[in-house]
Amino acid sequence: MSRSSARAAVTSPRKEGFADVARWIALDPDGETAIYRKFGELRARSLLYQQCRLAALEKRLGKFDEQDAADDDIGVRDAARTWETLEQRYAAGNEAALARMQLLGEIDMALKEYCIRLTLTTVESRLVLIRL
């Protein structure tokens, strides 16, 4: 089906602006009209900011580790070594455990977001449009 006959087959009323352009792109069987910006510089900048955010979170976690190593309390040291003890101290309302768990949650969320962004950027950079 040619582009002109595909357009003629559409019976909906003419649209304006983005709606019209989107319909025109969608009707192109070759996909040659599908032109989208990659926002490469913006994506790279966002990844760099995300890396800095993760580095700052890592530094904060390192301070917790230093405090744990300097503490003589066996419970504190055990919580630094085992997840179960950290969870127990957290459940008991221990302030240090609460702060550490909050930080670990922030790190987890930031890492997930970073990994998704990095994966998408990597995949997109390797994506090749194959034309038959």
> Per residue in 8-45, pLDDT tens?
545 567 788 889 888 888 888 887 777 777 788 898 99
- Distance, CA of 131 to CA of 46 (rounded, Å): 31
- pLDDT at res. 130: 46
Say if residue 32 is in the same domain as residue 66. no
Tell me if 73 is assigned to some domain.
yes
Say if residue 23 is in the same domain as residue 59. no
Q: Could you give the number of structural domains in the chain?
A: 2
Say if residue 26 is in the same domain as residue 67. no
pTM of this structure: 0.71
> Around Cβ 6, how many Cβ atoms within 10 Å?
13
Say if residue 16 is in the same domain as residue 62. no
Q: DSSP state, 12? A: S
Q: DSSP state, 13? A: P
Q: Per residue in 77-118, pLDDT tens?
A: 999 999 999 999 999 999 999 999 999 999 999 999 999 999
Residue 71 pLDDT exceeds 70: yes
Q: Per residue in 41-53, pLDDT tens?
A: 898 999 999 999 9
Say if residue 26 is in the same domain as residue 53. no
Say if residue 24 is in the same domain as residue 80. no
Tell me if 61 is assigned to some domain.
yes
- pLDDT at res. 1: 47
Residue 2 pLDDT level (bands cut at 50, 70, 90): low
Say if residue 44 is in the same domain as residue 74. yes
Say if residue 44 is in the same domain as residue 78. yes
Say if residue 30 is in the same domain as residue 47. no
Mean pLDDT (the chain, rounded): 85
* Structural domain span for residue 11: 1-36
Residues 100, 64 contacting (CB under 8 angstroms) = yes
Three-state secondary structure call for residue 95:
helix
Tell me if 132 is assigned to some domain.
no
Tell me if 114 is assigned to some domain.
yes
- pLDDT at res. 12: 63
Say if residue 44 is in the same domain as residue 102. yes
How far from 22 is each of 4, 18, 34, CA to CA, in Å? 16, 6, 9
